A and B are shown apart, each in its own frame.
Chain A
Amino acid sequence: MKQLTEIQTKALKDLICRIADDELILGHRNSEWTALVPILEEDIAFSSMAQDKIGHSLALYQLLNKLGEPDPDAIAFTRKEKDFKCCHLVEYPIGDYDFSLMRHFLFDKSEAIRFDLLSRSSFEDLANIAKKFRGELKYHTMHADTWLVQLGNATEESKARMQSALNQCFPLALGIFEPGEYDEVLSSENIFPGEKVLQGMWLDSIKIILDSANLSIPDIDTSDRSYGGRKGYHTEYLKPLLDEMTEVYSIDPNAEW
């Protein structure tokens, strides 16, 4: 790719930051399940996926660093809440396993498609990272699909729980696709086709699984959309999460830990 213009650099950084923050915060949330998941085997699987997410965020912050931002630890552990660009879905507390699984399903579906689209990005560094993540995401979505179909068809309780988790998560998940300031630049430069395109593909892909799981998708036209995260307006849950995450680091940010 040719030398980036100022606006292209801004657009690119904004995109990478959104993705990386989502990955960091959801990976952090999912790690809260460690040793507490209903089944030991699933505990191990869920932790692996959380580690992948944190690993993704690290690689993306490294890319930001290459584009002139501070090092990954500084980006993740010293920024203020308003500088985070994650969507609201990832900020919510883990709740019960129904909520966490549904969030995992809805988010990872979008993530898998996003990295698939990004693997064809004109910004090569990002395309290369995306290609690598795509392989991991295949297992995450396979995991989520299997659980959804199982729980959606099992007991009365599991069906009811998954449906209400879906109802709760859906408006939050639509916040993943909050239009960005730079969508036009990103798409005209073939960096990323845009959140709208992604949302359309995502809806098609979740529908297949939700149908097999006998769960009904809330009507998108009448559904709320939890926007604001991409612009730095967050739920009440992000601040305490960041305080906790940086508790040790901030004892002395200049120390080596």
Chain B
Amino acid sequence: MYGGGYIFEESKNGHSEEEDQIKLQKFEERIAAGEKIEPSDWMPAEYRKQLIRMIEQHAHSEIIGALPEGTWITRAPGFRRKLALMAKVQDEVGHAQLLYSAAETLGKPREQMINDLITGKSKYSNVFNYPAVTWADTAVIAWLIDAGAIINQVANSKGSYGPYCRALERICLEESFHLKYGHDNVVFLATGTSQQRQMVQDALIRWWPPIMHFFGPSDKISVHTETLMRWKVKMASNDDMRQKFLDMYVPKIWELGLTIPDPKLKKNNETGKWEYTEPDWEEFKRVINGDGPCNKERLAVRRRAEEKGEWVRNALLRPSEKYTVPLS
């Protein structure tokens, strides 16, 4: 899905002093000219490190993001929704696969990334540490979280690292179907029976704070990312993406007669910017550092899946007694 609100590490010097200055200059010129960097090209160590971190976080977000919606596949009401949700969550797993592959081109094996995920060493998008309490939550997630993801990913697909950009182009195409599915789902609830309406309103109230958190801390307090922006690793500021999201989706939410739980939310016609209650960044930090409603559960599920599947992976690695060509 998703990969909003990446956490970048503060770098001490922007880049290592030992980097070859001539190579660096050429590298930056290529990026400024809109060229893509490919796996075998020279790149600063800091660029590689931050990209691995970002793509890996994104991949983790896809696989962990499959969990809150995945638990609703077995409860989806009716064939149409059941089939659509199965396909959607399958897509998300596919996104994880694409992204792990993209990150692997930078030198970190998938096994190591997954290990860092289940030991809590690397992060994933904060939104997936919140529960999908009812069916309506899955509708809100598929519409608005995927919408946020698209804004983030379309921006990133114009970045500088070739394999990541190409993966994102395909991912964005699929995300746009998720968004349509989610929107259709929300429309049915919002225009349905009073009970359905209440369900989707409640879900929106629950999900609004995580949605506002989705793009990451406000520019005022987030780590300075000028170098990453120049290197086209980070493509848009958190606040700019949040503004874009609000611009595109708040009118659509209001159109459905739903209430957004922020009395301050309105567009300032002079500045053209949305004004809103500042999200609770302390909570954001608390949740990303492990203390959200579902962090433990999500990682436990992932860890259990890894442990339970170990014998299968081993059996693929060591066909000990007899090599067999797969049949047919």
By a beta-carbon cutoff of 8 Å, the part of chain A in contact with chain B is 28, 31-32, 34-44, 47-48, 50-51, 54-55, 58, 72-73, 76-77, 96-97, 142, 145-146, 149-151, 153-155, 157-158, 161, 209, 212, 241, 244-245, 247-249, 251-252, 255-257
Chain B proximity of A139: nearest CB distance (Å): 10
By a beta-carbon cutoff of 8 Å, the part of chain B in contact with chain A is 63, 66-67, 70, 73-79, 81-83, 86-87, 89-90, 92-94, 96-97, 100, 135, 188, 192-193, 195-196, 301, 305, 308-316, 318-322, 324, 326-328
Residue from B63, B74, B96, B328 within 8 A of A32 (CB atoms): B74
Across the A-B interface, the 4 shortest Cβ-Cβ residue pairs: A38-B309, A154-B315, A158-B315, A35-B66
Asked if A97 and B77 make an inter-chain contact with CB atoms under 8 angstroms apart, the answer reads no
Residue from A34, A73, A77, A149 within 8 A of B327 (CB atoms): A149
A-B contact count (CB 8 A): 151
Given the interface pairs A38-B313, A40-B100, the reply to whether A50 lies near B188 with Cβ below 8 Å is: no
Given the interface pairs A72-B79, A77-B78, A248-B76, the reply to whether A146 lies near B311 with Cβ below 8 Å is: no
Asked if A247 and B75 make an inter-chain contact with CB atoms under 8 angstroms apart, the answer reads yes
Asked if B78 and A54 make an inter-chain contact with CB atoms under 8 angstroms apart, the answer reads no
Asked if A35 and B74 make an inter-chain contact with CB atoms under 8 angstroms apart, the answer reads no
Per the bound structure, the CA–CA distance linking A206 and B152 in Å amounts to 49
Per the bound structure, the CA–CA distance linking A154 and B326 in Å amounts to 13
Closest to B101 in A: A40
Asked if A154 and B78 make an inter-chain contact with CB atoms under 8 angstroms apart, the answer reads no
Asked if B97 and A153 make an inter-chain contact with CB atoms under 8 angstroms apart, the answer reads no
Given the interface pairs A38-B310, A38-B312, A161-B311, the reply to whether A51 lies near B196 with Cβ below 8 Å is: no
Given the interface pairs A39-B309, A47-B89, A154-B319, the reply to whether A31 lies near B73 with Cβ below 8 Å is: yes
Asked if A48 and B192 make an inter-chain contact with CB atoms under 8 angstroms apart, the answer reads no
Chain A proximity of B129: nearest CB distance (Å): 16
Q: List 16 A-B contacts (CB under 8 A).
A: A35-B63, A35-B66, A35-B92, A36-B308, A38-B310, A55-B83, A76-B79, A145-B327, A153-B321, A155-B311, A158-B311, A158-B312, A245-B75, A248-B77, A248-B135, A252-B195
Asked if B313 and A36 make an inter-chain contact with CB atoms under 8 angstroms apart, the answer reads no
Closest to A76 in B: B79
Asked if B326 and A150 make an inter-chain contact with CB atoms under 8 angstroms apart, the answer reads yes
Asked if B74 and A150 make an inter-chain contact with CB atoms under 8 angstroms apart, the answer reads no
Per the bound structure, the CA–CA distance linking A146 and B318 in Å amounts to 15
Per the bound structure, the CA–CA distance linking A27 and B247 in Å amounts to 40
Closest to A156 in B: B320
Closest to B195 in A: A252
Given the interface pairs A36-B305, A257-B78, the reply to whether A151 lies near B312 with Cβ below 8 Å is: yes
Chain A proximity of B183: nearest CB distance (Å): 15
Chain A proximity of B172: nearest CB distance (Å): 18
Cβ contacts under 8 Å, A158 to chain B: 311-312, 314-315
Residue from A55, A146, A153 within 8 A of B319 (CB atoms): A153
Asked if A34 and B93 make an inter-chain contact with CB atoms under 8 angstroms apart, the answer reads yes
Asked if B308 and A31 make an inter-chain contact with CB atoms under 8 angstroms apart, the answer reads no
Residue from B83, B97, B305, B316 within 8 A of A44 (CB atoms): B97
